[in-house]
Structure 1
Protein backbone atom coordinates (compact mmCIF):
# COMPACT_ATOMS: atom_id res chain seq x y z
CA UNK A 1 0.00 0.00 0.00
CA UNK A 2 1.45 3.39 -1.02
CA UNK A 3 2.05 6.34 1.29
CA UNK A 4 -0.94 8.25 -0.11
CA UNK A 5 -3.24 5.25 0.33
CA UNK A 6 -2.12 4.81 3.92
CA UNK A 7 -2.70 8.50 4.64
CA UNK A 8 -6.18 8.36 3.11
CA UNK A 9 -7.02 5.28 5.15
CA UNK A 10 -5.77 6.92 8.34
CA UNK A 11 -7.91 9.99 7.68
CA UNK A 12 -10.98 7.85 7.02
CA UNK A 13 -10.47 5.91 10.26
CA UNK A 14 -10.08 9.13 12.23
CA UNK A 15 -13.23 10.61 10.74
CA UNK A 16 -15.28 7.50 11.37
CA UNK A 17 -14.03 7.52 14.95
CA UNK A 18 -15.03 11.18 15.27
CA UNK A 19 -18.52 10.50 13.97
CA UNK A 20 -19.02 7.58 16.34
CA UNK A 21 -17.93 9.59 19.36
CA UNK A 22 -20.21 12.48 18.47
CA UNK A 23 -23.06 10.06 17.87
CA UNK A 24 -22.58 8.45 21.28
CA UNK A 25 -22.30 11.65 23.22
CA UNK A 26 -18.90 13.07 22.41
CA UNK A 27 -20.29 16.50 23.29
CA UNK A 28 -21.43 15.38 26.71
CA UNK A 29 -19.22 17.27 29.11
CA UNK A 30 -19.50 19.99 31.75
CA UNK A 31 -20.02 23.35 30.09
CA UNK A 32 -20.45 25.99 32.77
CA UNK A 33 -16.78 26.98 32.84
CA UNK A 34 -16.61 26.70 29.04
CA UNK A 35 -19.44 29.19 28.59
CA UNK A 36 -17.82 31.58 31.08
CA UNK A 37 -14.54 31.39 29.20
CA UNK A 38 -16.28 31.93 25.90
CA UNK A 39 -18.15 34.96 27.23
CA UNK A 40 -14.94 36.50 28.53
CA UNK A 41 -12.75 35.91 25.47
CA UNK A 42 -15.23 35.87 22.58
CA UNK A 43 -18.11 37.98 23.80
CA UNK A 44 -20.34 39.11 20.98
CA UNK A 45 -22.80 41.95 21.31
CA UNK A 46 -26.04 40.71 22.84
CA UNK A 47 -28.88 40.47 20.35
CA UNK A 48 -32.55 40.90 20.95
CA UNK A 49 -35.58 40.14 18.84
CA UNK A 50 -36.05 43.87 18.23
CA UNK A 51 -32.51 44.19 16.86
CA UNK A 52 -33.08 41.33 14.45
CA UNK A 53 -36.49 42.70 13.46
CA UNK A 54 -34.73 45.73 12.00
CA UNK A 55 -33.48 43.33 9.31
CA UNK A 56 -36.81 41.76 8.41
CA UNK A 57 -36.13 41.81 4.69
CA UNK A 58 -35.91 38.24 3.43
CA UNK A 59 -32.63 36.92 2.11
CA UNK A 60 -32.58 35.81 -1.50
CA UNK A 61 -32.89 32.16 -2.48
CA UNK A 62 -29.84 30.54 -4.07
CA UNK A 63 -31.00 28.60 -7.17
CA UNK A 64 -29.85 25.03 -7.54
CA UNK A 65 -28.48 24.61 -4.02
CA UNK A 66 -29.58 22.28 -1.25
CA UNK A 67 -28.59 24.62 1.57
CA UNK A 68 -30.59 27.83 1.58
CA UNK A 69 -29.43 30.55 3.92
CA UNK A 70 -32.72 32.34 3.27
CA UNK A 71 -34.61 29.42 4.81
CA UNK A 72 -32.21 29.27 7.75
CA UNK A 73 -32.77 32.97 8.40
CA UNK A 74 -36.56 32.62 8.10
CA UNK A 75 -36.67 29.70 10.57
CA UNK A 76 -34.49 31.58 13.04
CA UNK A 77 -36.74 34.64 12.88
CA UNK A 78 -39.79 32.42 13.47
CA UNK A 79 -38.30 30.76 16.56
CA UNK A 80 -38.61 33.46 19.28
CA UNK A 81 -41.99 33.53 21.02
CA UNK A 82 -43.51 35.36 24.00
CA UNK A 83 -41.00 37.28 26.09
CA UNK A 84 -38.34 34.60 26.57
CA UNK A 85 -39.29 31.38 24.81
CA UNK A 86 -38.25 29.51 21.65
CA UNK A 87 -40.64 27.53 19.46
CA UNK A 88 -39.28 24.05 18.84
CA UNK A 89 -40.62 23.48 15.32
CA UNK A 90 -38.79 26.41 13.67
CA UNK A 91 -35.81 25.78 15.97
CA UNK A 92 -35.46 22.23 14.65
CA UNK A 93 -36.08 23.46 11.11
CA UNK A 94 -33.17 25.85 11.59
CA UNK A 95 -31.03 22.85 12.45
CA UNK A 96 -32.21 21.07 9.30
CA UNK A 97 -30.67 23.90 7.27
CA UNK A 98 -27.51 23.97 9.41
CA UNK A 99 -27.10 20.24 8.74
CA UNK A 100 -27.27 20.98 5.00
CA UNK A 101 -24.71 23.72 5.53
CA UNK A 102 -22.28 21.30 7.18
CA UNK A 103 -22.88 18.63 4.56
CA UNK A 104 -22.15 21.17 1.81
CA UNK A 105 -18.65 21.59 3.26
CA UNK A 106 -17.75 18.06 2.22
CA UNK A 107 -18.01 14.51 3.56
CA UNK A 108 -15.37 15.05 6.24
CA UNK A 109 -17.19 17.92 7.94
CA UNK A 110 -20.53 16.35 7.03
CA UNK A 111 -19.84 13.43 9.34
CA UNK A 112 -20.36 15.76 12.28
CA UNK A 113 -23.84 16.62 11.03
CA UNK A 114 -24.98 13.04 11.67
CA UNK A 115 -24.86 13.74 15.39
CA UNK A 116 -27.14 16.73 14.91
CA UNK A 117 -29.66 14.73 12.89
CA UNK A 118 -29.75 12.11 15.64
CA UNK A 119 -30.52 14.76 18.27
CA UNK A 120 -33.21 16.56 16.28
CA UNK A 121 -34.85 13.18 15.55
CA UNK A 122 -35.02 12.39 19.27
CA UNK A 123 -36.96 15.58 20.05
CA UNK A 124 -39.27 15.09 17.06
CA UNK A 125 -40.01 11.51 18.09
CA UNK A 126 -40.77 12.63 21.65
CA UNK A 127 -43.19 15.20 20.24
CA UNK A 128 -44.92 12.53 18.15
CA UNK A 129 -45.20 10.19 21.12
CA UNK A 130 -46.59 13.04 23.18
CA UNK A 131 -49.41 13.27 20.67
CA UNK A 132 -50.82 10.12 22.26
CA UNK A 133 -51.21 11.92 25.61
CA UNK A 134 -54.70 13.37 26.19
CA UNK A 135 -54.76 17.07 25.36
CA UNK A 136 -56.25 17.94 28.76
CA UNK A 137 -53.27 16.37 30.51
CA UNK A 138 -50.77 18.22 28.35
CA UNK A 139 -52.47 21.58 28.82
CA UNK A 140 -52.64 20.94 32.56
CA UNK A 141 -48.91 20.29 32.65
CA UNK A 142 -47.89 23.23 30.51
CA UNK A 143 -47.61 26.33 32.66
CA UNK A 144 -45.30 28.98 31.27
CA UNK A 145 -45.39 32.65 30.43
CA UNK A 146 -48.12 33.28 27.87
CA UNK A 147 -47.52 37.01 27.82
CA UNK A 148 -47.59 37.98 24.20
CA UNK A 149 -44.27 39.23 22.86
CA UNK A 150 -45.00 42.09 20.44
CA UNK A 151 -41.60 41.54 18.83
CA UNK A 152 -42.32 37.92 17.91
CA UNK A 153 -45.05 38.59 15.38
CA UNK A 154 -48.79 38.02 14.96
CA UNK A 155 -48.46 34.26 15.35
CA UNK A 156 -48.19 34.74 19.15
CA UNK A 157 -51.60 36.37 19.48
CA UNK A 158 -53.56 33.11 19.28
CA UNK A 159 -53.33 31.14 22.58
CA UNK A 160 -54.50 27.99 20.80
CA UNK A 161 -51.14 27.96 19.01
CA UNK A 162 -49.36 27.46 22.34
CA UNK A 163 -50.34 24.07 23.65
CA UNK A 164 -48.48 20.79 23.87
CA UNK A 165 -45.47 19.64 25.82
CA UNK A 166 -43.04 19.94 22.93
CA UNK A 167 -44.35 23.16 21.48
CA UNK A 168 -41.53 25.28 22.86
CA UNK A 169 -38.32 25.07 24.87
CA UNK A 170 -39.89 26.21 28.12
CA UNK A 171 -42.99 24.05 27.73
CA UNK A 172 -40.77 21.00 27.13
CA UNK A 173 -38.65 21.79 30.17
CA UNK A 174 -41.71 22.34 32.34
CA UNK A 175 -43.47 19.16 31.31
CA UNK A 176 -40.40 16.91 31.45
CA UNK A 177 -39.61 18.15 34.96
CA UNK A 178 -43.24 17.58 36.00
CA UNK A 179 -43.17 14.06 34.55
CA UNK A 180 -39.80 13.36 36.22
CA UNK A 181 -38.12 12.26 32.99
CA UNK A 182 -35.08 14.52 33.37
CA UNK A 183 -32.27 12.75 35.23
CA UNK A 184 -29.62 15.04 36.72
CA UNK A 185 -27.34 12.13 37.62
CA UNK A 186 -27.13 9.93 34.52
CA UNK A 187 -27.50 10.11 30.76
CA UNK A 188 -30.99 9.79 29.32
CA UNK A 189 -32.71 10.60 26.03
CA UNK A 190 -34.92 13.30 27.52
CA UNK A 191 -35.76 16.25 25.32
CA UNK A 192 -34.01 18.61 27.74
CA UNK A 193 -30.71 16.72 27.67
CA UNK A 194 -30.92 16.42 23.88
CA UNK A 195 -31.63 20.14 23.54
CA UNK A 196 -28.57 20.93 25.63
CA UNK A 197 -26.36 19.04 23.16
CA UNK A 198 -27.84 20.96 20.23
CA UNK A 199 -27.43 24.19 22.16
CA UNK A 200 -23.73 23.54 22.68
CA UNK A 201 -23.14 22.79 19.01
CA UNK A 202 -25.00 25.98 18.08
CA UNK A 203 -22.45 28.02 20.04
CA UNK A 204 -19.65 26.56 17.93
CA UNK A 205 -21.42 27.32 14.62
CA UNK A 206 -22.41 30.78 15.79
CA UNK A 207 -18.80 31.64 16.55
CA UNK A 208 -17.58 30.17 13.27
CA UNK A 209 -20.06 32.18 11.19
CA UNK A 210 -19.17 35.30 13.15
CA UNK A 211 -15.48 34.81 12.41
CA UNK A 212 -16.23 34.08 8.76
CA UNK A 213 -18.13 37.37 8.49
CA UNK A 214 -15.31 39.51 9.82
CA UNK A 215 -13.52 41.97 7.52
CA UNK A 216 -9.98 42.63 8.81
CA UNK A 217 -8.90 46.25 8.99
CA UNK A 218 -5.62 45.27 7.38
CA UNK A 219 -4.06 42.09 6.10
CA UNK A 220 -5.40 39.01 4.39
CA UNK A 221 -8.72 37.25 4.87
CA UNK A 222 -8.05 34.18 6.95
CA UNK A 223 -8.71 30.65 5.74
CA UNK A 224 -12.14 29.24 6.74
CA UNK A 225 -10.52 26.04 8.01
CA UNK A 226 -8.40 28.13 10.37
CA UNK A 227 -11.45 30.07 11.57
CA UNK A 228 -13.51 26.93 12.12
CA UNK A 229 -10.67 25.35 14.05
CA UNK A 230 -10.43 28.42 16.29
CA UNK A 231 -14.17 28.38 16.93
CA UNK A 232 -13.95 24.69 17.82
CA UNK A 233 -10.98 25.21 20.12
CA UNK A 234 -12.84 27.99 21.96
CA UNK A 235 -15.88 25.82 22.57
CA UNK A 236 -16.09 22.08 22.02
CA UNK A 237 -12.40 21.16 22.05
CA UNK A 238 -12.04 21.96 25.75
CA UNK A 239 -14.39 19.07 26.53
CA UNK A 240 -13.34 16.49 23.96
CA UNK A 241 -10.77 13.76 24.30
CA UNK A 242 -7.40 13.99 22.58
CA UNK A 243 -8.54 11.55 19.87
CA UNK A 244 -11.66 13.55 19.05
CA UNK A 245 -9.69 16.80 18.87
CA UNK A 246 -7.18 15.25 16.47
CA UNK A 247 -9.93 13.84 14.26
CA UNK A 248 -11.67 17.22 14.22
CA UNK A 249 -8.43 18.88 13.14
CA UNK A 250 -8.28 16.53 10.14
CA UNK A 251 -11.89 17.33 9.22
CA UNK A 252 -11.28 21.08 9.32
CA UNK A 253 -8.21 20.83 7.10
CA UNK A 254 -10.45 19.58 4.28
CA UNK A 255 -12.82 22.56 4.54
CA UNK A 256 -13.35 24.53 1.29
CA UNK A 257 -11.73 27.89 0.58
CA UNK A 258 -13.54 31.20 1.13
CA UNK A 259 -14.75 31.45 -2.46
CA UNK A 260 -16.89 28.40 -1.86
CA UNK A 261 -18.80 30.24 0.88
CA UNK A 262 -19.44 33.16 -1.49
CA UNK A 263 -21.17 30.75 -3.86
CA UNK A 264 -22.94 28.92 -1.02
CA UNK A 265 -24.82 32.05 0.08
CA UNK A 266 -24.98 33.70 -3.37
CA UNK A 267 -22.70 36.70 -2.79
CA UNK A 268 -19.86 38.14 -4.84
CA UNK A 269 -17.34 39.24 -2.24
CA UNK A 270 -16.45 39.43 1.46
CA UNK A 271 -18.40 42.64 2.04
CA UNK A 272 -21.64 41.01 0.84
CA UNK A 273 -20.85 37.85 2.80
CA UNK A 274 -20.36 39.92 5.93
CA UNK A 275 -23.76 41.58 5.56
CA UNK A 276 -25.59 38.27 5.11
CA UNK A 277 -23.76 36.38 7.85
CA UNK A 278 -24.10 39.21 10.36
CA UNK A 279 -27.87 39.06 9.95
CA UNK A 280 -27.86 35.31 10.47
CA UNK A 281 -25.51 35.50 13.47
CA UNK A 282 -27.75 38.09 15.15
CA UNK A 283 -30.78 35.84 14.61
CA UNK A 284 -28.87 32.85 16.02
CA UNK A 285 -27.89 35.02 18.98
CA UNK A 286 -31.51 35.67 19.94
CA UNK A 287 -32.37 31.96 19.82
CA UNK A 288 -29.18 30.97 21.61
CA UNK A 289 -29.58 33.53 24.41
CA UNK A 290 -33.21 32.55 25.07
CA UNK A 291 -32.36 28.85 25.15
CA UNK A 292 -29.39 29.51 27.40
CA UNK A 293 -31.61 31.42 29.86
CA UNK A 294 -34.28 28.70 29.88
CA UNK A 295 -31.71 25.98 30.60
CA UNK A 296 -29.95 28.12 33.19
CA UNK A 297 -33.20 28.97 34.99
CA UNK A 298 -33.85 25.26 35.44
CA UNK A 299 -30.31 24.20 36.36
CA UNK A 300 -29.81 22.23 33.15
CA UNK A 301 -26.50 23.52 31.83
CA UNK A 302 -24.63 20.49 33.20
CA UNK A 303 -27.02 17.62 32.50
CA UNK A 304 -24.93 14.42 32.17
Structure 2
Protein backbone atom coordinates (compact mmCIF):
# COMPACT_ATOMS: atom_id res chain seq x y z
CA UNK A 1 0.00 0.00 0.00
CA UNK A 2 2.82 2.36 0.91
CA UNK A 3 4.59 1.60 -2.37
CA UNK A 4 1.39 2.27 -4.28
CA UNK A 5 0.96 5.67 -2.61
CA UNK A 6 4.53 6.58 -3.53
CA UNK A 7 3.92 5.61 -7.14
CA UNK A 8 0.71 7.68 -7.26
CA UNK A 9 2.53 10.67 -5.76
CA UNK A 10 5.36 10.35 -8.26
CA UNK A 11 2.95 10.13 -11.18
CA UNK A 12 1.04 13.17 -9.92
CA UNK A 13 4.19 15.24 -9.60
CA UNK A 14 5.33 14.10 -13.04
CA UNK A 15 2.04 15.23 -14.53
CA UNK A 16 2.36 18.61 -12.86
CA UNK A 17 5.89 19.05 -14.13
CA UNK A 18 4.79 18.03 -17.61
CA UNK A 19 1.92 20.48 -17.39
CA UNK A 20 4.24 23.24 -16.28
CA UNK A 21 6.35 22.76 -19.40
CA UNK A 22 3.34 23.44 -21.62
CA UNK A 23 1.18 25.83 -19.58
CA UNK A 24 2.26 29.31 -20.33
CA UNK A 25 0.41 30.48 -17.43
CA UNK A 26 14.88 40.96 -10.81
CA UNK A 27 17.19 41.91 -12.83
CA UNK A 28 18.41 45.46 -12.39
CA UNK A 29 17.29 47.87 -15.06
CA UNK A 30 20.24 48.57 -17.30
CA UNK A 31 21.13 51.40 -19.63
CA UNK A 32 21.84 51.29 -23.35
CA UNK A 33 24.65 53.71 -22.68
CA UNK A 34 26.62 50.87 -21.08
CA UNK A 35 28.55 49.63 -24.06
CA UNK A 36 27.88 45.90 -23.88
CA UNK A 37 24.43 45.72 -22.36
CA UNK A 38 21.23 45.11 -24.29
CA UNK A 39 19.00 48.04 -25.14
CA UNK A 40 16.06 45.85 -24.14
CA UNK A 41 15.85 47.34 -20.68
CA UNK A 42 15.67 51.00 -21.61
CA UNK A 43 12.34 52.58 -20.75
CA UNK A 44 10.94 55.51 -18.85
CA UNK A 45 8.44 54.53 -16.14
CA UNK A 46 5.24 56.33 -17.00
CA UNK A 47 4.08 57.13 -13.49
CA UNK A 48 1.56 59.64 -14.82
CA UNK A 49 -0.35 56.83 -16.55
CA UNK A 50 -0.50 54.83 -13.33
CA UNK A 51 -1.56 57.86 -11.31
CA UNK A 52 -4.24 58.75 -13.85
CA UNK A 53 -5.68 55.24 -13.73
CA UNK A 54 -5.62 55.10 -9.96
CA UNK A 55 -7.17 58.52 -9.40
CA UNK A 56 -9.96 58.14 -11.94
CA UNK A 57 -13.10 59.34 -10.16
CA UNK A 58 -15.04 56.46 -11.67
CA UNK A 59 -12.82 54.06 -9.78
CA UNK A 60 -13.45 55.57 -6.42
CA UNK A 61 -10.54 57.91 -5.79
CA UNK A 62 -6.82 57.64 -5.20
CA UNK A 63 -6.86 55.25 -2.25
CA UNK A 64 -7.83 52.06 -4.07
CA UNK A 65 -4.24 50.96 -4.75
CA UNK A 66 -2.30 50.39 -1.56
CA UNK A 67 1.13 49.04 -0.75
CA UNK A 68 0.72 45.74 1.09
CA UNK A 69 3.35 45.47 3.80
CA UNK A 70 5.05 42.14 4.29
CA UNK A 71 4.32 40.53 0.92
CA UNK A 72 6.24 40.14 -2.31
CA UNK A 73 3.48 40.90 -4.82
CA UNK A 74 2.48 44.56 -5.10
CA UNK A 75 -0.32 45.84 -7.34
CA UNK A 76 1.28 49.28 -7.58
CA UNK A 77 4.53 47.80 -8.88
CA UNK A 78 2.67 45.67 -11.45
CA UNK A 79 0.79 48.75 -12.69
CA UNK A 80 4.02 50.72 -12.96
CA UNK A 81 5.61 48.03 -15.15
CA UNK A 82 2.46 47.71 -17.26
CA UNK A 83 2.32 51.42 -17.95
CA UNK A 84 6.05 51.55 -18.61
CA UNK A 85 5.65 48.84 -21.26
CA UNK A 86 3.41 51.13 -23.36
CA UNK A 87 5.80 52.19 -26.08
CA UNK A 88 5.29 54.72 -28.88
CA UNK A 89 3.02 53.99 -31.85
CA UNK A 90 1.10 51.27 -29.95
CA UNK A 91 4.24 49.18 -29.46
CA UNK A 92 5.15 47.22 -26.31
CA UNK A 93 8.61 47.62 -24.75
CA UNK A 94 10.00 44.21 -23.89
CA UNK A 95 11.92 44.78 -20.67
CA UNK A 96 9.05 46.36 -18.70
CA UNK A 97 6.81 43.66 -20.20
CA UNK A 98 9.13 41.03 -18.72
CA UNK A 99 9.16 42.92 -15.42
CA UNK A 100 5.36 42.65 -15.44
CA UNK A 101 5.76 38.90 -15.65
CA UNK A 102 8.22 38.86 -12.77
CA UNK A 103 5.58 40.58 -10.64
CA UNK A 104 2.89 38.19 -11.88
CA UNK A 105 5.14 35.27 -10.92
CA UNK A 106 5.03 36.58 -7.35
CA UNK A 107 1.25 36.68 -7.63
CA UNK A 108 1.04 33.08 -8.84
CA UNK A 109 3.49 31.82 -6.22
CA UNK A 110 1.31 33.40 -3.54
CA UNK A 111 -1.56 31.14 -4.64
CA UNK A 112 0.19 28.02 -3.39
CA UNK A 113 3.02 25.56 -4.13
CA UNK A 114 1.19 23.69 -6.90
CA UNK A 115 0.63 26.88 -8.87
CA UNK A 116 4.31 27.56 -8.30
CA UNK A 117 5.13 24.71 -10.67
CA UNK A 118 4.16 27.00 -13.54
CA UNK A 119 6.36 29.87 -12.50
CA UNK A 120 9.57 27.98 -13.28
CA UNK A 121 8.68 27.71 -16.97
CA UNK A 122 7.63 31.35 -17.09
CA UNK A 123 11.00 32.30 -15.62
CA UNK A 124 12.72 30.20 -18.29
CA UNK A 125 10.90 32.13 -21.00
CA UNK A 126 11.83 35.47 -19.49
CA UNK A 127 15.45 34.33 -19.34
CA UNK A 128 15.37 33.12 -22.96
CA UNK A 129 14.20 36.48 -24.32
CA UNK A 130 16.77 38.34 -22.23
CA UNK A 131 19.48 35.98 -23.40
CA UNK A 132 18.55 36.61 -27.02
CA UNK A 133 18.74 40.34 -26.30
CA UNK A 134 22.18 39.94 -24.74
CA UNK A 135 23.45 37.92 -27.70
CA UNK A 136 22.10 40.59 -30.02
CA UNK A 137 24.12 43.25 -28.25
CA UNK A 138 27.42 41.35 -28.20
CA UNK A 139 29.95 40.40 -30.86
CA UNK A 140 32.84 38.01 -30.61
CA UNK A 141 33.60 35.58 -27.82
CA UNK A 142 34.99 37.90 -25.20
CA UNK A 143 34.71 41.46 -26.53
CA UNK A 144 31.35 43.14 -26.10
CA UNK A 145 30.64 46.03 -28.41
CA UNK A 146 27.56 48.23 -28.55
CA UNK A 147 25.66 48.27 -31.85
CA UNK A 148 26.02 51.39 -34.01
CA UNK A 149 23.96 54.34 -32.73
CA UNK A 150 21.78 54.34 -35.85
CA UNK A 151 20.89 50.68 -35.45
CA UNK A 152 17.74 49.93 -33.48
CA UNK A 153 18.10 47.04 -31.05
CA UNK A 154 16.05 44.08 -32.29
CA UNK A 155 14.88 43.08 -28.80
CA UNK A 156 13.88 46.51 -27.58
CA UNK A 157 10.18 45.99 -28.24
CA UNK A 158 7.63 43.41 -29.33
CA UNK A 159 7.41 44.89 -32.83
CA UNK A 160 11.15 45.11 -33.40
CA UNK A 161 11.71 41.55 -32.12
CA UNK A 162 9.00 39.98 -34.28
CA UNK A 163 10.14 41.85 -37.38
CA UNK A 164 13.84 41.10 -36.85
CA UNK A 165 13.28 37.39 -36.24
CA UNK A 166 11.08 37.11 -39.32
CA UNK A 167 13.72 38.77 -41.48
CA UNK A 168 16.45 36.49 -40.07
CA UNK A 169 14.42 33.36 -40.70
CA UNK A 170 14.58 32.13 -37.09
CA UNK A 171 10.81 31.80 -36.78
CA UNK A 172 9.35 28.53 -38.01
CA UNK A 173 5.67 28.18 -38.86
CA UNK A 174 5.99 24.37 -39.07
CA UNK A 175 8.15 23.26 -36.12
CA UNK A 176 9.08 24.40 -32.63
CA UNK A 177 12.07 26.74 -32.43
CA UNK A 178 13.57 28.61 -29.46
CA UNK A 179 12.72 32.00 -30.94
CA UNK A 180 11.68 35.05 -28.99
CA UNK A 181 8.53 35.23 -31.10
CA UNK A 182 7.33 31.75 -30.16
CA UNK A 183 8.25 32.37 -26.52
CA UNK A 184 6.34 35.64 -26.49
CA UNK A 185 3.26 33.91 -27.93
CA UNK A 186 3.17 31.48 -24.97
CA UNK A 187 3.47 34.34 -22.49
CA UNK A 188 0.82 36.24 -24.42
CA UNK A 189 -1.69 33.40 -24.07
CA UNK A 190 -1.01 33.08 -20.37
CA UNK A 191 -1.46 36.81 -19.88
CA UNK A 192 -4.96 36.47 -21.30
CA UNK A 193 -5.61 33.59 -18.89
CA UNK A 194 -4.65 35.80 -15.96
CA UNK A 195 -6.73 38.66 -17.34
CA UNK A 196 -9.82 36.45 -17.57
CA UNK A 197 -9.21 35.09 -14.08
CA UNK A 198 -9.10 38.62 -12.67
CA UNK A 199 -12.26 39.57 -14.55
CA UNK A 200 -14.06 36.57 -13.10
CA UNK A 201 -12.82 37.43 -9.61
CA UNK A 202 -14.46 40.84 -10.02
CA UNK A 203 -17.74 39.71 -11.56
CA UNK A 204 -18.52 36.15 -10.46
CA UNK A 205 -20.49 35.56 -7.26
CA UNK A 206 -18.43 35.06 -4.14
CA UNK A 207 -19.64 31.47 -3.70
CA UNK A 208 -17.57 30.38 -6.68
CA UNK A 209 -14.13 29.21 -5.61
CA UNK A 210 -10.77 30.37 -6.93
CA UNK A 211 -10.26 26.91 -8.42
CA UNK A 212 -13.53 27.08 -10.35
CA UNK A 213 -12.68 30.49 -11.76
CA UNK A 214 -9.18 29.34 -12.75
CA UNK A 215 -10.68 26.31 -14.48
CA UNK A 216 -13.16 28.42 -16.43
CA UNK A 217 -10.42 30.79 -17.62
CA UNK A 218 -8.15 27.86 -18.46
CA UNK A 219 -10.80 26.07 -20.53
CA UNK A 220 -11.48 29.25 -22.46
CA UNK A 221 -7.90 30.28 -23.23
CA UNK A 222 -5.26 27.60 -22.67
CA UNK A 223 -7.00 24.22 -22.87
CA UNK A 224 -7.49 24.44 -26.67
CA UNK A 225 -3.68 24.47 -26.99
CA UNK A 226 -3.07 21.53 -24.64
CA UNK A 227 -3.43 17.76 -25.11
CA UNK A 228 -5.91 15.75 -23.07
CA UNK A 229 -3.33 14.60 -20.53
CA UNK A 230 -2.29 18.13 -19.70
CA UNK A 231 -5.90 19.21 -19.29
CA UNK A 232 -6.50 16.40 -16.81
CA UNK A 233 -3.36 17.29 -14.87
CA UNK A 234 -4.53 20.90 -14.67
CA UNK A 235 -7.52 19.72 -12.66
CA UNK A 236 -5.15 18.73 -9.85
CA UNK A 237 -3.96 22.29 -9.60
CA UNK A 238 -7.46 23.76 -9.66
CA UNK A 239 -8.53 21.55 -6.77
CA UNK A 240 -5.57 22.81 -4.73
CA UNK A 241 -6.25 26.51 -5.22
CA UNK A 242 -6.67 28.57 -2.04
CA UNK A 243 -9.77 30.39 -0.89
CA UNK A 244 -10.69 33.67 -2.59
CA UNK A 245 -9.82 35.46 0.65
CA UNK A 246 -6.17 34.89 -0.24
CA UNK A 247 -6.64 37.04 -3.33
CA UNK A 248 -8.20 39.83 -1.27
CA UNK A 249 -5.12 39.82 0.92
CA UNK A 250 -2.84 39.97 -2.12
CA UNK A 251 -4.47 43.18 -3.37
CA UNK A 252 -4.62 44.58 0.17
CA UNK A 253 -8.41 44.83 0.56
CA UNK A 254 -10.87 43.31 3.01
CA UNK A 255 -13.99 42.71 0.96
CA UNK A 256 -15.07 41.74 -2.54
CA UNK A 257 -16.57 45.20 -3.02
CA UNK A 258 -13.24 46.85 -2.21
CA UNK A 259 -11.45 44.50 -4.60
CA UNK A 260 -13.57 45.30 -7.66
CA UNK A 261 -12.14 48.78 -8.48
CA UNK A 262 -8.61 47.48 -7.89
CA UNK A 263 -9.20 44.61 -10.31
CA UNK A 264 -10.72 47.04 -12.81
CA UNK A 265 -7.49 49.07 -12.90
CA UNK A 266 -5.30 45.97 -13.27
CA UNK A 267 -7.47 44.42 -15.99
CA UNK A 268 -7.59 47.66 -17.98
CA UNK A 269 -3.79 47.87 -17.96
CA UNK A 270 -3.35 44.21 -18.93
CA UNK A 271 -5.95 44.53 -21.69
CA UNK A 272 -4.00 47.32 -23.38
CA UNK A 273 -0.75 45.34 -23.30
CA UNK A 274 -2.54 42.25 -24.58
CA UNK A 275 -4.32 44.20 -27.34
CA UNK A 276 -1.09 45.70 -28.65
CA UNK A 277 0.75 42.37 -28.57
CA UNK A 278 -2.18 40.61 -30.21
CA UNK A 279 -2.12 43.10 -33.07
CA UNK A 280 1.61 42.65 -33.69
CA UNK A 281 1.32 38.86 -33.69
CA UNK A 282 -1.80 38.85 -35.83
CA UNK A 283 -0.50 41.01 -38.66
CA UNK A 284 2.48 38.63 -38.98
CA UNK A 285 0.30 35.49 -38.79
CA UNK A 286 2.08 34.38 -35.61
CA UNK A 287 -0.90 33.50 -33.42
CA UNK A 288 -0.52 29.77 -34.11
CA UNK A 289 3.23 29.21 -34.00
CA UNK A 290 3.89 25.55 -33.04
How would you bin the TM-score normalised by the shorter chain?
0.7 to 0.9
Counterpart check, 1:188 vs 2:183:
no
8 Å contact kept, 1:18–1:247: yes
Q: Report the count of equivalent residues.
A: 254
Are residue 79 (structure 1) and residue 85 (structure 2) matched? yes
Distance 1:139 1:18, change over 3 A: farther
Deviations 1:167-212 (A, max 9, x none): 1000111211222211222111111111001001111111011101
1:101 shift after superposition: 0.9
CA distance in 2, matches of 1:189, 1:290: 23
> Mean alpha-carbon deviation: is it higher for 179-188 or for 250-259?
179-188
Task: Tell me whether 1:97 sits opposite 2:103 in the alignment.
Answer: yes
- The higher-RCO structure (CA 8 Å, 6+ apart) is 1
Give the match for residue 176 of structure 1: 165
Looking at structure 2, the residues matched to 274 and 68 of structure 1 have their Cα atoms a distance apart, in angstroms, of 16
Q: Distance in 2 between matches of 1:86 and 1:95?
A: 14
- How many angstroms does 1:14 deviate by? 2.3
Query: Which position in structure 1 is the counterpart of 2:17?
Result: 19
Whether 1:243 and 2:229 are equivalent positions in the alignment is yes
User: Who is 2:245 aligned against?
Assistant: 259
Unaligned runs of 5+ in 2: 25-47, 56-61, 140-144
List runs of 5+ in structure 1 lacking aligned partners: 28-49, 141-162
**Gap change, CA 1:12 and 1:234, over 3 Å in 2:** farther
Give the match's secondary structure for 1:13.
helix
Question: What's 2:119 paired with?
Answer: 113
Does the 8 A contact of 1:15 with 1:111 survive in 2? no
2:72 is matched with 66
Q: Please tell me whether the aligned partners of residues 204 and 235 of structure 1 are also in contact (alpha carbons under 8 angstroms).
A: yes
Following superposition, the deviation at residue 223 of structure 1 comes to 1.0
Equivalent in the alignment of 1:164: 153
**Which residue pairs with 1:201 in the alignment?**
190
Query: 1:195 and 1:9, CA in 2 relative to 1: closer, same or farther beyond 3 A?
Result: same
Normalized against structure 1, the TM-score is what?
Answer: 0.77
Shift of 1:298: 0.9
TM-score (norm 2): 0.80
Q: Distance in 1 between matches of 2:249 and 2:131?
A: 35
Shift of 1:18: 2.8
* Contact 1:19 1:115 survives alignment (8 Å): no
Report 1:251-290 matches (<5 A): 251-290=237-276
Do the aligned partners of residues 82 and 117 (structure 1) sit closer, same or farther apart at CA in structure 2, a change above 3 Å counting? same
State the shift of 1:272 in Å: 1.2
Q: Classify the secondary structure of the residue corresponding to 1:202.
A: helix
Q: Contact 1:215–1:271 (CA<8 Å) still a contact in 2?
A: no
The Cα shift of 1:222 comes to 1.5
Which residue of structure 1 aligns with residue 284 of structure 2? 298
